[in-house]
Homo-oligomer: A and B are copies of this chain.
Amino acid sequence: MNNSSIAAALEQVRQAKPLVHNITNVVVTNFTANGLLALGASPVMAYAEQEVADMARIAGALVLNIGTLNETEIRAMKLAGQSANEHGVPVIFDPVGAGATAYRTATARGIMNEVKVAVLRGNAAEVAQVIGQDWQIKGVDAGEGGGSAADLAIAAARQLGTVVAVTGKDDIVSDGKATYVCRNGNAILTRVTGTGCLLTSVIGAFASVVNNPAEAAVAALVTYGVAAELAAAEAAAQGPGSFQIALLNKLAQVSGADIEKLGRVERL
């Protein structure tokens, strides 16, 4: 995956306008929907057990996010996930807050057990919790340097048999064999809620048009990171409120040429 193929994938998203079915938390629904719309995808949120299987089946990707989980929603996630699995729809999973409470950790592992996930996206602490490792994390971010985050991503990918994206200062994507580091983004992303959740949904948009899930994740991370850099250049000095709006603007405007110029991805 290089900048040219990422730019091509972005163009595919905009041509296909994939339906991305999100079962996500109440904090980020609006921002996620607006981010996907800005990028050129077509978001839908549908949570009822009576309809999630039907909606997941017709979607280009299914995104599961446990940020404000409850029993009803977990059942819906599993029903939707299994429907997606049956119909070849890629499932992207964001284990928000795994490790913060036992309930979240158990739920995250339960979803990984019952649904075939194409891409798991979390910060280092969350990913470590999903695979039951007492990984040494500084705060909730990946710590200094990309080394340990890469080791974690590779270990998780091998243990889980899926693509793992460990995001932080640098972002790592691994399928257990190929491993990429993506260096785009900006620190102000951490001052706006839901920027990680939206990123997970953006991975969904790319996974609906790029068959290889690791490449889809890399394309999403670089596109999102470049958009964030453009937004930060324009609005970070004004503050996180303005940055949030600028990020939506730049997701709509980020071009293949921007990615060719600014994308920073390498295979480890």
Q: Give A contacts to B, CB under 8 Å.
A: 25-31, 33-34, 37-38, 43-48, 50-51, 54-55, 58, 67-72, 97, 100-104, 190-194, 238-242, 244-250, 252-253
A46 touches B30 (CB 8 A): no
A241 touches B26 (CB 8 A): no
B242 touches A249 (CB 8 A): yes
- Write the chain B residue with the least CB distance to A188: B252
Instruction: State in angstroms the CA–CA spacing of A190 and B240 once bound together.
Output: 22
Determine the chain B residues whose CB is within 8 A of the CB of A252 once the complex forms: 191, 239-241
Determine the chain B residues whose CB is within 8 A of the CB of A58 once the complex forms: 100
A48 touches B70 (CB 8 A): yes
Instruction: State in angstroms the CA–CA spacing of A242 and B249 once bound together.
Output: 7
- Write the chain B residue with the least CB distance to A252: B239
A28, A71, A192, A193 pick with most chain B CB within 10 angstroms: A193
Instruction: State in angstroms the CA–CA spacing of A187 and B25 once bound together.
Output: 29
Given the known inter-chain contacts A191-B252, A249-B242, A252-B239, please indicate yes or no for A26 contacting B45, CB distance below 8 A.
Answer: yes
Q: Which of B45, B67, B244 sits near A248, CB closer than 8 Å? A: B244
Instruction: State in angstroms the CA–CA spacing of A45 and B241 once bound together.
Output: 20
Given the known inter-chain contacts A34-B193, A245-B242, please indicate yes or no for A27 contacting B29, CB distance below 8 A.
Answer: yes
Determine the chain B residues whose CB is within 8 A of the CB of A102 once the complex forms: 51, 54
Given the known inter-chain contacts A27-B45, A30-B30, please indicate yes or no for A193 contacting B239, CB distance below 8 A.
Answer: no
Determine the chain B residues whose CB is within 8 A of the CB of A70 once the complex forms: 47-48, 72
Task: Sample 10 A-B pairs with CB under 8 A, ordered by A number.
Answer: A34-B192, A34-B241, A38-B240, A38-B241, A46-B100, A47-B68, A48-B69, A54-B101, A240-B249, A241-B252
